[in-house]
């Protein structure tokens, strides 16, 4: 077990003496986050202690109380949970407006605040749209001495750069300044060396970079600019991306170099963390999606299970829900048609995508 250390985390009352897990969540997403939390709790090593820190801007007291009971009772005392208000941190940093677009929301930027909010040596950050299939302590124990973080390669982005969307290659090299597209990492599961970030990449610097323009993958790009060449690579099984709409493996990952394809498939066959990263086709609204059964297995033991079921039902019968489903179907069919007409790697495809990107916008938060 790690040596205990003092921590200043806004009076959470957590010991923060061993495994520190960090999430970002809002009230709307809390039921789905509870599924991730359930999967984490069920795989905890009772010989370790886990402190779960949730960065939020609006989680209600009742919701926080339910999540607290879920962790404390489910872990039988091996874990505790606390909630951090990010609004105070944004105000203290006099943070500029940050852009969102597509499926990216304000919460994606919360992880940039980790060095500012958590006065601890390191913390394991996880997105809230995933399920954990084994104990996270071995990942937390990864040696990141002298490095900024540990993360997996992002084979999806690498596949886009290497053929599915040629504009990504230019973007990674020209806009992000990366020496190699193979260095790009996926930010949904990150072991942060917070001490090293505070020394070399302070939070204010990260926020200023994020606000400079609308980055294609939001704060993930910011973190890659800061740390892609200063990163410990971990097994892809710690962040195995599900096969979004059947596109990811057959069309995108298929464009990646052979070594990355093989690593992706090995992780897909034996995942330790399944990450539902994508703009739609998520299991809480599409139970038959790839790996959707894993989400619902843990959802059935979540205290928010009735609410998750209610939302699924509403999405299938209300006008708003049906409209959203129609939009997703149109997007999927449109992408399929586009891929058929404009094959990956062709100049026409690249020109059309570049033009579409050039007229893109974003919302300010």
**Residue 244 scores a pLDDT above 50:** yes
Mean pLDDT (whole number) for 19-33: 96
- Kindly report the pTM of this predicted structure: 0.88
**What average pLDDT does range 23-38 have in this prediction?**
97
- Supply the pLDDT for residue 8: 41
pLDDT at residue 131 is higher than 90: yes
> Checking DSSP bridges between strand 122-126 and strand 19-24, what pairing results, if any?
parallel
For range 185-191, the mean pLDDT: 97
Give 235's pLDDT tier (boundaries 50, 70, 90). very high
Question: Up-side HSE of residue 335: CA atoms within 13 Å toward CB?
Answer: 15
Q: How far apart are CA 173 and CA 198, in angstroms?
A: 26
Q: What percent of the chain has pLDDT over 90?
A: 67
Q: Is 281 left (phi over 0), alpha (psi -120 to 50) or beta?
A: left
> For the segment 155-180, what is each residue's pLDDT rounded down to a tens digit?
999 999 999 888 899 999 999 999 99
Average pLDDT score over residue span 289-313? 97
Backbone angles phi, psi at 152, to 5 degrees: -95, 155
What's the token pair of residue 20?
């520190």
Predicted local confidence at residue 196, as pLDDT: 96
> What would the mean pLDDT of 76-89 be, rounded to a whole number?
91
Per-residue pLDDT at 13: 58
H or E element: which one contains 340?
helix 319-341
Mean pLDDT of 130-157: 98
Give the pLDDT confidence score for residue 107 in this predicted structure: 80
pLDDT at 356: 61
Q: Which two tokens stand for residue 44?
A: 């905890």
CA distance 280 to 174: 29
**pLDDT tens track for 101-122:** 666 677 888 999 999 999 899 9
Q: What is residue 332's predicted lDDT score, i.e. its pLDDT?
A: 64
Q: What's the pLDDT score for residue 94?
A: 64
Q: Which fold has domain 19-142+186-225+278-364?
A: Spore Coat Polysaccharide Biosynthesis Protein SpsA; Chain A (3.90.550)
Res 7: pLDDT: 37
Q: What is the pLDDT of residue 186?
A: 97
282-298: pLDDT as tens digits? 999 999 999 999 999 99
Query: What's the pLDDT tens digit per position in 333-362?
Result: 667 666 656 777 777 776 766 666 655 544
Question: What's the mean pLDDT when you consider all of the chain?
Answer: 88
Number of H helices and E strands in the chain, helices first, is 16, 12
């Amino acid at each position: 077990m790690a040596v205990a250390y003092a921590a200043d985390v806004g009076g959470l009352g957590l010991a923060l003496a061993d495994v520190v897990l960090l999430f970002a969540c809002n009230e709307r997403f809390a039921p789905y986050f509870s599924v991730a939390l359930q999967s984490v709790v069920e795989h905890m090593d009772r010989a370790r202690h886990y402190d779960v820190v949730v960065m939020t801007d609006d989680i209600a007291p009742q919701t926080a109380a339910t999540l607290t009971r879920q962790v404390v009772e489910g872990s039988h005392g091996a874990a505790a949970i606390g909630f951090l208000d990010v609004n105070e941190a944004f105000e203290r940093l006099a943070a500029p407006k940050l852009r969102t677009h597509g499926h990216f929301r304000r919460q994606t930027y919360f992880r940039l605040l980790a060095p500012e909010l958590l006065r601890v040596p390191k913390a394991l950050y996880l997105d809230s749209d995933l399920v954990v299939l084994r104990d996270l302590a071995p990942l937390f124990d990864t040696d990141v001495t002298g490095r900024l973080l540990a993360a997996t390669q992002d084979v999806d982005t690498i596949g886009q750069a290497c053929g599915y969307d040629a504009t990504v290659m230019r973007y990674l090299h020209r806009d992000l300044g990366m020496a190699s597209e193979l260095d790009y990492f996926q930010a949904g599961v990150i072991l942060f060396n917070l001490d090293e970030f505070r020394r070399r990449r302070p939070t204010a610097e990260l926020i200023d970079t994020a606000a400079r323009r609308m980055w294609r993958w939001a704060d993930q790009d910011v973190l890659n600019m800061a740390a892609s060449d200063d990163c410990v690579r971990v097994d892809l099984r710690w962040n195995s991306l599900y096969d979004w709409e059947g596109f990811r493996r057959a069309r995108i990952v298929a464009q990646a170099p052979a070594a990355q394809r093989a690593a992706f498939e090995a992780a897909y066959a034996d995942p330790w963390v399944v990450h539902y990263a994508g703009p739609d086709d998520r299991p809480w609204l599409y139970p038959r999606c790839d790996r959707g059964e894993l989400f619902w297995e843990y959802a059935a033991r979540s205290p928010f299970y009735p609410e998750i079921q209610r939302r699924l039902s509403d999405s299938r019968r209300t006008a708003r829900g049906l409209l959203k489903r129609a939009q997703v179907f149109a997007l999927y069919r449109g992408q399929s048609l586009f891929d058929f007409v404009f094959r990956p790697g062709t100049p026409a495809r690249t020109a059309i995508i570049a033009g579409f990107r050039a007229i893109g916008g974003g919302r300010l938060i």
